[in-house]
Amino acid sequence: MGKVIGIDLGTTNSCAAVLEAGTPVIIASAEGGRTTPSVVAFTDNGERLAGDLAKRQAAVNADRTVYSIKRQMGNDYHVNINGRKYSPQEISAIILQKLKKDAEAYLGESVTDAVITVPAYFNDAQRQATRDAGRIAGLNVRRIINEPTSAALAYGLDHGENQKILVYDLGGGTFDVSVIEIGDKLIEVLATSGDNHLGGDDFDERIVQYLVKEFKKTEKARIEKDSVAMERVREAAEKAKKELSQLTETNINLPFLWNGKGGPKHMDINITRAVFESITSDLVKRTEQPVLDALGQAGISASALDKVILVGGSTRIPAVQAMVRNITGKEPCHNLNPDECVAAGACIQGSKFSNEIMAGAAGDIILMDVTPLSLSIETIGGVATKLIGRNTPIPTRQSQIFTTAGNFQTSVDIKVFQGERKFTRDNKLLGNFRLTGIKRALAGVPQIEVSFDIDANGIVNVSAKDLGTGKQQQITITSSSNLTEEEIARAEMEAKMYESEDAARREAIDIRNNAEAYLYKIEQAYHDMGKKLDRSVRSALKADISELKKRIVKAKPEKITPVQAGEIRQACDKLEQTAGMAGINIPGGL
């Protein structure tokens, strides 16, 4: 089979990697970056943009540009663009299509299989949604792997000696911490914890709020409802956050940010690292308890750790690194690129599904992960009765006997929840199903065995068996917030259709651009030769130049159609033929 790529589908940036000669290699995007912004945009002519191209035009197309969709994965959330509602899976699929296309361009072959990473604290619905996004993008998702575990896999490639490590993963939108033991060809996750709504986006937002407040104070201007102005401020805030990881002060200068009654207003504000740390101190503090929880669940003290690994771009923030030192008493390890190590680990895992052979002993590493949250079913009084506790090694299977609550029941409703609270109302409903055909009997007599299976991807399946009749039923939990099979099939079809349309549009733009360059060369030659040309040839050449120029001007790059591209091609071919008759043989025609 072909290559299996590893994908870190991030909140702010995504990354893809592939194994080459037994070593993980980061796949650069078509734009040359080693990571791809997790941004999707829709132009006024219906074109879908992803990555750098989407991010560059965000300031002038803010209402049709989507950021940080990962935070909505597994939720019943939709973004409305041009009158069409898109689910988080569909938006994420556009990002995955971009990564897939860049990987195919790099490898020179089709890519169909991938290992995709998710935050360790993602629940079943979020994992299912990620898998659905991969399907829509045309990828066979061979494995869903936790981000900290993936980073540990990349680390274990060169550091296979026995040790206990803590992976502190603060990305753009999520925070995870995992305690992992690396042994002889074994990477075992001991415990994990985290916060799915804490990340670099929150740090950016604090800077945005600070800038808006200062701008209002100095310029008496309210820009909160100006989407274009706010987009510029957000871009500046993200840049300032990165600069303050290296500098003690930075300047935000945004000319002509606001145009009010008193004329244009310009933002020119200095922000120091001290101010940044002051307005984000509570965010940094929020990472402390999950670290302590993970250590407690693993049953080890911070002093027993051999290494602390930082993952995610937000770990470059000095205050975050200081927090890690204070909690663990150790200097964090800096020999992994926090933006790339997750994708690298994913492609290592992907090698197990292909014919690739890992360099060194790392190819034999066995990966043992855990489930991040407890699984339970609802019993009388809304109580969450646990079948599988958090941090249980996966894959796993657990069963428990239940019975009926009423006389002569012939069916029971089983509701499956994920979370740590005692009552189901406080946990996440994964799904529910009805087991029918139970033999009529008094309450408490029927015996119903409910079994939970968690596969290696952390995805949940449930089976039920009536022990009285022997009737057994296998049920796959489908969260109500996930797409149905019909919706996934439709989204897959649309993704393929738009991919084809985008390719045709890009080809049309290339035809126009090449024709424009060719026209320029012919015009130069025409003027240089002047009256040396025969009058009839000169006249024909002039007419063909004029016709091609007219076709090019009429076809605007952002709105060019395949029909217009065809007309340009015909005009260009005719001009090339006429130029050849005139003795002008310039390469570069279509």
The dihedral of CA 52, 58, 61, 63: what is its sign? positive
**Whether 27 contacts 370, CB under 8 Å:** no
Q: How far is CA 548 from CA 179, 505, 543, 575, in A?
A: 65, 19, 9, 8
> What is the dihedral angle through the alpha carbons of 79, 80, 85, 89, rounded to the nearest 10 degrees?
-20
The residue type at 579? A
Calculate the CA 437 to chain-centre distance. 43
Q: So which residues are the catalytic ones?
A: 8, 70, 147, 169
| Measured CA angle at 257 (ends 252, 258), to 5 deg | 140
Residue with structure tokens 């990555």?
51
DSSP per residue, 214-272: HHHHHH----TT-HHHHHHHHHHHHHHHHHTTT-SEEEEEEEEEEEETTEEEEEEEEEE
With CA atoms as reference, report the closest residue to 95 among 31, 32, 48, 131. 48
**Whether 340 contacts 39, CB under 8 Å:** no
**Could you tell me which residues come within 8 angstroms of residue 299 by beta carbon, excluding any fewer than 6 positions away?**
190
Facing residues of 183 across strands? 186
Residue with structure tokens 């935050």?
119
Give the DSSP H/E element, type plus range, for residue 85. Answer: strand 84-86
- Rounded-to-integer distance, Cα 203 and Cα 275, Å: 12
Calculate the CA 86 to chain-centre distance. 15
| Measured CA angle at 489 (ends 110, 127), to 5 deg | 80
**Whether 579 contacts 548, CB under 8 Å:** no
Give the DSSP H/E element, type plus range, for residue 36. Answer: strand 36-37
| Measured CA angle at 435 (ends 430, 439), to 5 deg | 155
- Rounded-to-integer distance, Cα 288 and Cα 195, Å: 11
Give the 3-state secondary structure of residue 522.
Answer: helix
Backbone angles phi, psi at 459, to 5 degrees: -95, 140
- Rounded-to-integer distance, Cα 190 and Cα 394, Å: 11
